[in-house]
Amino acid sequence: MGNKPSSEIIRRFIDFIALQRRYSKHTQNAYLTDLEQFESFLQTLSEGNKQQITQADYHDVRAWVISLLDDEQVTARSINRKLSALRSFYRFAIQEQLIEESPLRKLKALKADKKITPFLPQTDARQLWQALTELPADEFITAREQVILILLYTTGIRLSELIHLKISDIDFSNRQIKVWGKGSKQRIVPLLPQIFALLENYIQIKSQLFGEAIHSPLVCTDKGEEAYPMLIYRTVRKHLDMITTIERRSPHVLRHSYATHLLDGGADLNAVKELLGHSSLAATQVYTHTSIEKLRKVFEDAHPRS
């Protein structure tokens, strides 16, 4: 086993994930880079004797991880991604009967710090709201931009949920929308009274352009077709660029802002869980970080021994 040149084996693996697994070109390139990096590291261990990647053992992989940890620019998250590439490669090698077991069999993933999505400060959120309400709402594109931003921020729905939201999902009499979340789970999310005029205005303009179809997507393209993710991303980025300095400016930032601002305002965690469509409370707790920091500041400012 393991008699083929490493470069050929790696090429076969990349062909496999491209043709059989249909991995993206980006993933293919990332895996290739990681495997070649590990292969180069093996050469340093074998002092130029060209140790093959299929000959590596647990200690070789562990030594590589330690060397990566010495680099302050490499995070635990990126190391875990590299290990994921190796695991996929060695599964392929076992399948091809090139090795008997993976050298990563006993290796555990590193504990990575949880990545916290940024959120809009309250001042930025107020500025965004004011900017949106002042847009000329007699044009389809600007009316659509109002609806996209305001729905994302005032309901906390996901990008995919917004795209699949239909006009028939809006209950004007009860001031709520019906949202189809992950796993086709349905939930009801209340709407602020202030946004109904904007919704009605947009729907009227949309109907004049593309006809009245109650079951058509609420947010559509300039041709009346269902919106696509990049359209939503571009709209969000355009408006957040004008009012905030936070690094990430995506639809998820507005979802995070919605949850964070609700919790900061005293909302019950279980209620926020239901509004967001989370299946477990643990998924919602990621949004409590700012509320905890706010409580900590109140405590430190008020406690007589602080």
The contacts of residue 63 (CB under 8 Å, 6+ apart) are: 41, 45
Fill in the DSSP letter of residue 117.
P
Is 278 a residue of the active site?
A: yes
Q: Is 287 a catalytic residue?
A: yes
At 76, phi and psi to the nearest 5? -60, -35
Strands 176-180 and 186-190: antiparallel
If you search the block for the tokens 């998820």, which residue do you land on?
252
Choose the catalytic residue: 158, 164, 239, 249: 158
The residue from 59, 126, 175, 182 that is catalytic is: 182
Let me know if 303 is a catalytic residue: no
Our CA angle for 32, 33, 36, nearest 5°, is 85
Q: Which member of 90, 202, 258, 287 is catalytic?
A: 287
* φ/ψ (deg, to 5) at 11: -60, -40
Is 255 annotated in the active site? yes
Catalytic residue from among 144, 164, 255, 261:
255
Buried b / exposed e along 248-272 (16+ C-beta atoms within 10 A): ebbbebbbbbbbbbbbbeeeeeeeb
Mapped onto helix, strand or coil, the DSSP state of residue 8 is: helix
The reply to whether 12 belongs to the active site is no
Which position among 144, 239, 256, 278 bears the catalytic label?
278
Contacts of 302 (CB under 8 A, 6+ apart): none
Active-site annotation, residues: 158, 182, 252, 255, 278, 287
